[in-house]
A and B are shown apart, each in its own frame.
Chain A
Amino acid sequence: MKRIVKSLVLATALTTAITGFSQAEEPKTGGTLVTVLGTNPRNLNSAVQSGIVTGFPGAQLFASPLRYDSDWTPQPYLAETWEVSDDGLSVTLNLVKNAKFHDGTPITSEDVAFSVEVIKANHPFKAMFAPVETVETPDAHTAILKLSKPHPALLLAMSGQLMSIIPKHIYGDGEITDVKAHPRNNENVVGSGPFKLTEFKNGEHVILERFDDFFMEGRPYLDKVVMRIITDPAARAIAYENGELHMGAFESLPRIVNRLKKVDSLTVTADGYGAIGPISWLAMNTAKGPLTDVRVRKAIAYAVDKDFIHKALMQGTASDSTSGIHPDSPFYAEQEGYALDLEKSAALLDEAGFPVKDGSRMSLTIDFGWPGVKAEVEYVKAALKKVNIDVEVRASADFPTWAKKMGSGDFDMSWDTVFNWGDPVIGVHRTYDSTNILKGVWSNTQSYSNARVDELMAMAGVEADPAKRTALYAEFQAIIADELPVYHVNTVPYHTIYQTDKVGNPPVGIWGTSTPIDMTYLK
């Protein structure tokens, strides 16, 4: 099975496909896009720092081998063509010939090999390139990734902010693990992407300007991108409304999203976050106390009314989540779920051996790691009271305090939000893999262990045929939904907001703003 994608064939389809809607008007060049970051990025080098705050500037400063359209189809970017061998054990990237770094040096296969090495050594998502053993560089524009096993997740891992190509002659001057603290991660950045860094002022802004020698003809359209750092969501909302900000992404406060939806000049959309894949759930510790019994976990699911959370707490801004995979992912298989049923819940608790004594069946604790989800947690407490479960809400002083509790399994229930990060291998497996139990926050903190689930993940991880992979993940999702190490509640209602008559081609593909905005323009 040889798959060769020719960029020429795709070039025409690309413009319409990537944006997800056809362009009625010609993009204009020039202008300064004023956009926003909700937190201060600690690092602009996306090869060593993950996270959506670094992703936005990172994907502008650094190009990746591939990019994705809104239908989850890989498109050429720094690699004009690519090829997966029949046995799935080698992936050949044919790089664009005229590509240059921001200092004018040509981008070669050496840089690709170096970048993979840096990402393997510093990036937190080990699963992305773990099977990559070596990167061969037969010539300056060919890089061959040699794998220890087939690794279909590699394609998504070569897009968005996940595989930033960084120059070896700049970042290769010390130990490979030192790159994460390299002084040029935040200033004098030499990147490969459509925009170069003008200024990063901590707490104030990141300013980028057009890289004139960018390898894609005529791109980017914008002359300048100003990313202001505004941490207060209410202040950001006012800035969208009065026109100070042209565009922003990852806005998730239901109250603010709904208010901005009513503003005529703004477009507010939840499209474009499929690969980020943020899901909120109720985590249940399967290794401690009453929750070791799956019937108790089910009873809790039946007692917690997701509909209430969707309507009252999320105010209709979030979509339902029924499995560990984001609903926008091609691997998503919708599960039946647990509609509110207090009688069933009580019956399950009786059956599990927790009868009502003095008005209470059991006492559990619930944790949360950030103040934004306090309402959900308080609701769970109130909801479980109806089936005579006493819940103590344990607030954590800050994130590390909560992270420690989760990482050491010191909890009964906790509200949590975890991102898919593209392929399930990268962001989904970590929650259910029995070899990843209690390895820090956002690992398998629920201590869930099921041999079949492990086996399904192992098989899906190396399965090249998309249809077979989908089937494996369907079975996986069904088991998870049945055994409930976590009760999936809703997707995080991330929204992209932009001035309708100013911004053309906003980034609403699959990666949110963790994608190059070389096709975004000002009307």
Chain B
Amino acid sequence: MRVFYAVILLLAVLVLNFSMMHLAPGDVADTISQSMGGADEEILDQIRADYGLDQPFLVQLGRYIGNVLRFDLGYSFFYNKPVTELILQRLPATLLLVFVAQILALFIGVILGVISARKPNGIASHFVTMLALFGYSAPVFWTGILLLIAFSLKIQIFPVAGMRDITISGGFWVHFVDVVRHLVLPVITLGSIFLALYSRLSRATMMEVLGSDYVRTAKAKGLSEREVVYKHALKNSLSPVITLAGLQFSAVISGAVLVEAVFSWPGLGTLAFQSIIARDTPTILGILFFSALVVIVGNLLTDLALRLVDPRMRGKG
């Protein structure tokens, strides 16, 4: 039943977006003409005819939905390539960036949250609060450019753009190190927002949990502070953080658009941005479709993770 609803929802999203794209004046033929430095109506009409853009709206919509139902996301007008191929080519880069940023942010965020929750008025706690405030309020592109100036220009340790250096040659490890070097700055930039969220949330829940009865009982039982915090309290304070992390998956994809733009990261975000600018409807819808899939998978993973930390969730369907 849940799967059925998801499919209906997905189709509704596609129809809605298709219609919205159609409402805006102009189409991909205009952006193609822009990329060509101008073209006359004759050429534009020819392009529209080639891509079926001259057909009535309902025919176009019907055709598109029909294709999607046959698992065919269509053909990109702007890039002259099947949309699925275009997206699959870009998806790994985005997943790499998003997962690394998300996992690091989650891990470090929780640690920082716990540290500051243990001494809510200590220096460490204030530091975490400051960091969180900064990470959350600084715009990503600004953080990105600042990091670039600092670590690519003033101290030249990280490369400026892209995911790998095409001029180097070597075995697996050479390329691995190369990708990691390219990954550092984008991950810090993207991760900083989520780090802020997670550290604040885990700080709050941890403080709440530390004040609860069973923690007092555990302490009374004579367990060490360390054991109480990391064995008992932490596990219970994790569920809200994991729920938030699951919800953030979609936000991470959208946040990646800006980070990818600043660092020329060859991912889905850059493609999404370019396709929207280019009015390349099939590509935009294809990306939406894939993002929705990622979010669904993300939610599924969240459910699994919650069951892992919270035994009460295990019985539920």
Is there contact, CB below 8 Å, between B37 and A51? yes
The 0/1 profile, CB within 8 Å of A marked 1, for residues 79-94 of chain B is: 1110000100110000
Q: Which residues of B contact A (CB under 8 A)?
A: 24-28, 30-44, 46, 50, 78-81, 86, 89-90, 145, 148-149, 152-153, 156, 159-163, 166-167, 261-264, 266-267, 270-271, 274, 276-279
Kindly supply a per-residue 1/0 record for chain A positions 194-232, scoring 1 wherever the CB is within 8 Å of any chain B CB and 0 otherwise: 000000011111010000000000000000001011111
Q: Is A238's CB under 8 angstroms from B148's CB?
A: yes
Interface flag for A397 (CB, 8 Å): yes
Q: For residue A136, give the distance in angstroms from its CB to the closest CB of chain B.
A: 26
On chain B, the residues within 8 Å of A441 by CB distance are 30, 33-34, 38
Chain A residues in 8 Å Cβ range of B278: 42
Q: Check if B44 sits within 8 Å of A228, measured CB to CB.
A: no
**DSSP class of A's interface residues: helix, strand, loop or mixed?**
mixed
Q: Residues of A contacting B160 with CB < 8 Å?
A: 230, 235, 238-239, 242, 244
Size category of the binding interface on chain A: 35 or more
Please name all residues of chain B whose beta carbon is closer than 8 Å to the beta carbon of A53 when the two chains form the complex. Answer: 35
Contact B167 A400 (CB under 8 A): no
Q: CB of A92 within 8 A of chain B?
A: no
In order of increasing CB-CB distance, the 7 nearest A-B pairs are: A400-B26, A442-B38, A124-B39, A400-B30, A50-B36, A204-B266, A239-B160
Residues of A within 8 A of B274 (CB): 39-40, 203, 231
Q: Which of A42, A229, A439 contacts B80 (CB 8 A)?
A: A42
Query: What 1/0 flags go to A441-459 for Cβ under 8 Å of B?
Result: 1110000000000000000
**Is B24 a contact partner of A401 (Cβ separation < 8 A)?**
yes
Task: List the A side residues contacting B159 at CB < 8 Å.
Answer: 244
Contacts of A126 in B (CB 8 A): 40, 42-43
Q: Which of B35, B161, B271 lies in contact with A42, CB distance below 8 A?
A: B35
Q: Are B35 and A202 in contact (CB under 8 A)?
A: no
Query: Is A181 interfacial (CB-CB < 8 Å)?
Result: yes
Query: What chain A residues lie within 8 Å of B33 (beta carbons)?
Result: 124, 403, 440-442
Tell me if A401 and B25 are in contact (CB < 8 A). Answer: yes
Q: List 18 A-B contacts (CB under 8 A).
A: A50-B36, A51-B37, A201-B89, A203-B274, A204-B163, A205-B166, A207-B166, A226-B167, A230-B162, A231-B270, A235-B264, A398-B277, A400-B30, A401-B26, A439-B41, A440-B44, A441-B30, A442-B37
Interfacial residues, chain A to chain B (CB-CB below 8 A): 32, 34, 39-40, 42-43, 49-54, 122, 124-126, 177, 181, 183, 185-186, 201-205, 207, 226, 228-232, 234-236, 238-239, 241-242, 244, 397-401, 403-405, 418-419, 421, 427, 430, 436, 439-443
Chain A residues with CB under 8 Å of B86's CB are 202
The winner among A244, A397, A418, A419 for most chain B CB atoms within 10 A is A244
Q: Are A228 and B162 in contact, with the CB atoms below 8 A?
A: yes
Residue of A nearest to B265 (CB): A203
Partner of A399, one of B30, B79, B156: B30
Docked CA distance A173–B40 (Å) = 26
Cβ–Cβ contact B35 & A51, under 8 A: yes
Q: Are A419 and B39 interface neighbours, CB within 8 A?
A: no
For residue A440, which residues in chain B have a CB less than 8 angstroms away from its CB?
A: 33, 38-41, 44
Contact A201 B270 (CB under 8 A): no
Give the CA-CA distance A228 to B160 in the complex, in Å: 11
Q: How far is the CB of A469 from chain B (nearest CB, A)?
A: 23
Write the nearest CB–CB distance from B4 to chain A, whole angstroms: 35
**Chain A residues within 8 Å of B148, by CB:** 234-235, 238
Cβ A226 vs Cβ B40 within 8 A: no
Cα(A54)–Cα(B261), bound, Å: 21
Instruction: Report whether A204 and B162 are in contact in the complex, using a CB–CB cutoff of 8 Å.
Output: yes
Evaluate contact between A235 and B263: CB separation under 8 angstroms.
yes
